[in-house]
Structure 1
Amino acid sequence: MSIASSSSSLQALRGSLRPSATCRRALNIEFKPFRPVDDAALEPRPPRPSTPTFFTGRPAYHTAISELETALLSAQQSLRSAHIYPLPSTLPTPQPPRAAWHPAPVLSNLLGTQLKTNAHRRILDLLNELHALRHVAALSEQAGVENVLDGVLARYEREERGGVEGGKKAAEVDEWGRAYGMGRRKESSARVWIVPSPSGRRLLDAHSEGEAVATVEEGEGEVQAEILVNHVPIAIHFPKITDRETVLRPLRLSGLIGAFNVFALARGGGTSGQAGAVGLALARALVVMRSETEEVLQRDGALMRDTRMVERKKTGSAKARKKYAWVKR
């Protein structure tokens, strides 16, 4: 009994001398006095984007689109509140003067990104709508709306706009008596110069005020003229009769075959494409030389470019439209 009591007393003594968990935890904690944080010691916050379109990849372009759309809606609302817009359907649509916008390369530098076709077209559509509203505001004497639109569009307009607003410079006969025309067809392009032929001058002098075109009187003899394509006669450059008739069609329609010497330079494409290009260029040169032929040539469509192109081959097909024969096995 004495041994058991002595062992228990020793254990109790050891337990009292052993440090508790709270004591160990208190000894491990270091006291740190509170010190206010110095703002100068913190790293500066990175600058925030100046526009919400920063994360689009093309912030300048999208910002410009947003500004133009906002200006368009604001102008429409102002004109609508003045009971001007939209215009009544009974009134003819006013045609604004031709605008002169910066070309695509200049707009690309202005917006800091390479403008593709769709992006450039979207910019031009908005600019044309704003330009039309500016014209409506000017006609309706809404000076406030007109001034606001002037400020928006001034960034995109050319400084020297006289030649553009006035349209293309009218072609004229040069000092050597030549008329020039240019035409395109498919992948071909052609330039044509025409001058009155020596034997065909009487045909041109025979033109009277009551006639649409000049004609050759009977018994005057055959009128001879020279037609060169790429420095060779037309019969050598275009062996096919159909190609030669395509070139001569404007002269036949106007009744001026033999009245002019024709010099043509054709490049690119095949024979049919070059024939169409030369014919179009010749028709345009005829209008420069004889303005009275424009009506008959315009009615025939000889002054309009044929926009048809070669249709591309499709994947899984033999040619553009030809399909492979169906095989059962």
Structure 2
Amino acid sequence: MNHLLRFRPSVFTACRRSFATQQNFVPPKSLEAIDPSSSHELAKPVTPTFYTGRSSYYESMGALERAVQHSRQMLTTLNIFPLPPFALEALPPLIPVWKSKEKLNSALDTKLSATRYRRMLALLNELNHFRRIAKSAGHDDVGSVIQDILDFFERDDKEEHLKRGRKKPVKFDEYGRSYTLGRRKESSARVWMIASHNPPNDAQRNSPPPTSQILINNVPLNKYFPLPGDRERILAPFKVTGTVGAYNVFTLVRGGGSTGQSGAIAHGIATGLAGHAPDLESILRRAKLTRRDPRMVERKKTNRAKARKGYGWVKR
């Protein structure tokens, strides 16, 4: 009896294992009443990227890569790709305005990191380059197909965003006078310009300049600005373009000192000259006269004598 009791735990363990691994027997007759269509099977994923953490991102990247490949093949078939360097420089620019990372997150219903966002922009810029080539070569059908793909990734307010960098056209009244606004430091100048009665022509370039009038706050130029440097700054747009004496100028300037006021007037005169003679705009741009001078006086800081100067101290 004792030797039986010694093996009882092993017998009980074997019995438990057999019952645990035993499966319930289902009679074949009962399976006939089961409808096979009612079985709950898992639906097959639509795309292989379903099991990734960012399926919409990888689907979009795959679609963009295929679009880039097909566009390159199509342009190569049309013998317009690749282009030589001089032809690329002559192409008109097509400036894209892509959606921000936050906008793409909501559009793709995912969260893009900075690296993934840059990778997507690289493909979009390449597609935009192919669109520019197709548009310039006259293949509007190819360009429209690429444009349909890029419309999803461009901003909705693209036109308004591109207008921000454009300069407003110069206003002219019924008498032919232009009105422009110039700024420098804390000064602002309103400038009215009109062509004089005897503007210089090509034959009179080397002759003495004709007479014109420049009034600043209803005061002549030489009386309002006694310093020669200020007067030279105002006359610089006329000297660069060779139009000294060709226009009469009337200016109202406010704020700032003599340097700021003379710079604001020169800025307004250069903008007005570009409006009267658009062919002179490139000369004024190269001379950096049409762009406002961004330099300003740096503000004073706390615990500083001036903007950056510190106080002296004596060791005791």
The interval holding the TM-score normalised by the smaller chain is 0.5 to 0.7
Residue in structure 1 matched with residue 134 of structure 2 by the alignment? 137
SS where residue 88 of structure 2 aligns?
coil
Residue in structure 2 matched with residue 112 of structure 1 by the alignment? 106
Residue in structure 1 matched with residue 252 of structure 2 by the alignment? 263
Preserved CA contact (<8 Å) 2:216 2:253: no
State the Cα distance separating 1:252 from its structure 2 match: 4.9
Q: 1:178 to 1:74 in 2, by over 3 A?
A: same
Question: Please, which of 192, 217, 238 is the counterpart of residue 195 of structure 1?
Answer: 192
Q: 1:283 to 1:115 in 2, by over 3 A?
A: farther
Give, as a single letter, the amino acid of the residue that structure 2 aligns with 1:303. T
After superposition, the C-alpha distances for 1:60-94 in whole angstroms (9 at most, x for unaligned) are 5x8656654543333123323454311246x6337
State whether structure 2 residue 196 is matched by structure 1 residue 204: yes
Distance 2:117 2:224 in 1: 41
Q: 1:178 to 1:152 in 2, by over 3 A?
A: same
Preserved CA contact (<8 Å) 1:225 1:258: no
Residue in structure 2 matched with residue 11 of structure 1 by the alignment? none
Distance 1:239 1:50 in 2: 77
Distance 2:222 2:118 in 1: 45
Question: Please, which of 212, 217, 225 is the counterpart of residue 215 of structure 2?
Answer: 225
SS where residue 151 of structure 1 aligns?
helix
User: Over alpha carbons, which structure has the higher Rg?
Assistant: 1
Count of residue pairs the alignment pairs up: 272
For structure 1, the residue ranges without an aligned partner over 5 or more in a row are 1-13, 311-329
State whether structure 2 residue 143 is matched by structure 1 residue 154: no
Residue in structure 1 matched with residue 170 of structure 2 by the alignment? 171
Question: Please, which of 52, 63, 71 is the counterpart of residue 67 of structure 2?
Answer: 71
After superposition, the C-alpha distances for 1:94-153 in whole angstroms (9 at most, x for unaligned) are 755553644766x75355399999999987775554334224335656676434313212
Q: 1:140 to 1:226 in 2, by over 3 A?
A: closer
State the Cα distance separating 1:283 from its structure 2 match: 0.8
State the Cα distance separating 1:204 from its structure 2 match: 0.2
State whether structure 2 residue 76 is matched by structure 1 residue 86: no
State the Cα distance separating 1:225 from its structure 2 match: 1.4
State the Cα distance separating 1:260 from its structure 2 match: 0.9
SS where residue 195 of structure 1 aligns?
strand
State the Cα distance separating 1:19 from its structure 2 match: 5.5
After superposition, the C-alpha distances for 1:17-60 in whole angstroms (9 at most, x for unaligned) are 74533445467678466249xx999xx9xx996485729xxx75
Preserved CA contact (<8 Å) 2:96 2:128: no
Provide TM-score, normalisation by structure 2.
0.54
SS where residue 250 of structure 2 aligns?
strand
Give, as a single letter, the amino acid of the residue that structure 1 aligns with 2:275. V
Q: 1:306 to 1:17 in 2, by over 3 A?
A: closer
Q: 1:179 to 1:307 in 2, by over 3 A?
A: same
Preserved CA contact (<8 Å) 1:181 1:191: no
Q: Give the alignment's Cα RMSD to 1 decimal.
A: 5.9
Residue in structure 2 matched with residue 249 of structure 1 by the alignment? 236
Residue in structure 2 matched with residue 284 of structure 1 by the alignment? 271
Provide the identity percentage: 23
Distance 1:181 1:246 in 2: 17
After superposition, the C-alpha distances for 1:147-198 in whole angstroms (9 at most, x for unaligned) are 4313212332768869969x7664231458653445677xx487543225xx
